[in-house]
Structure formats: structure tokens, C-alpha cells
Amino acid sequence: MKCPFCGQAADKVIDSRTSKEGDVIRRRRECTACLRRFTTYEHIEEIPIMIIKKDGRREAFNREKVRQGIMKACEKRKISMNDIEEFLDDLQRDLRETGEKEVSSSVVGEKIMGMLHDLDKIAYVRFASVYREFKDVNDFVSEVRKLPSQSGASGDLIQKNEPDDSAR
């Protein structure tokens, strides 16, 4: 490491500490020529994951953009920010573990929909409506009918347009 004071390349490490997150190492160094001390930080250089959009454009994976989309789908639902952040961490890790430098936006979208499907059916349908570009209410109904028919699932999402017998 080149000394920022005298420019010599000879130094020794006096102290090393890992950050709380474990992704950065702070090193305290002393120049062997001028004996002045300085600090360096060592971290992994991450190559950005490029997302291939539907129209063929490529853009860097943007965690904030994904967070905003998920938060919009989860608006007024009982989903904690911790759940969303944990999912974003898992998503980024999954994308990096593929070893690919470029990933199709459809892969990212399907992963998000899978998580929302397991987490909250309403948030899932909201996200699907944007991601799959629903054109009319029939697209919504079709998607909801695909959901498993358990209490709290599609039964609560679609109300039949049949008259209520108890009102008579």
C-alpha cells in the first residue's frame, strides 16, 4: 500500500477489524519510511448484475426500484419492512449465486411473484397486475382463480355476483 504522506510502498499492518456486517475490513497501517499512520478499508468489489429488460435494454439491478415495487404491492397490508428487506437480501444473493452477469427481468419478476404468493395473496395479485400488464378486470379474475382455494385465499378476493339469500 502506498503511503499517502511520503509515497513509499512499504508499510506494516498494526490493527485489523471487521465491520459489524462482516463485509468490510478496516486496517490501521504504519509507513516504515516516515512512521506515519493511516487507515485503509478493504471490501469485495461487486460486479453489478445487469437486468435484461423485455425490450432488450440492459440496466444495472436496482434494489431500490425493486423495493418500491414490492412496497407498492404490499401497501396497507400486514407485511413488515423486515420481511421485505429479508426478501431483497435473498433475491440479491440468489441472483449473485447464479454466477450470471446478466439476468432476464422475467427471472427477477417471477422470483418476486413467488415470494409475494407465499407471503400475501392480495400483494401477489397487485404485483402480478403490473408485472403481467393486466388489460382488464378479466385478467384479475383469471389470476385470482389460479390461487389455491383455502379460506383467506381466492374466496376472499372474488365475491360472486349472486344475490344474497339471507337478505330475503
Cβ partners under 8 Å of residue 96, min gap 6: 46, 49
Q: What is the average pLDDT across 59-83?
A: 92
Which tens digits make up the pLDDT trace of 128-158?
787 777 777 776 677 777 777 554 444 444 4
Can you give the pLDDT at residue 22? 81
Residue 48: exposed, middle, or buried by beta-carbon count in 10 A (0-12, 13-18, 19+)?
Answer: exposed
Q: What is the average pLDDT across 16-43?
A: 92
Q: Which one, of 40, 46, 51, lies nearest residue 17 by Cα? A: 40
Can you give the pLDDT at residue 168? 41
- The 3-state DSSP class for residue 45 equals coil
In the chain, pLDDT over 90 holds for what percent of residues?
46
Mean pLDDT in the chain? Answer: 83
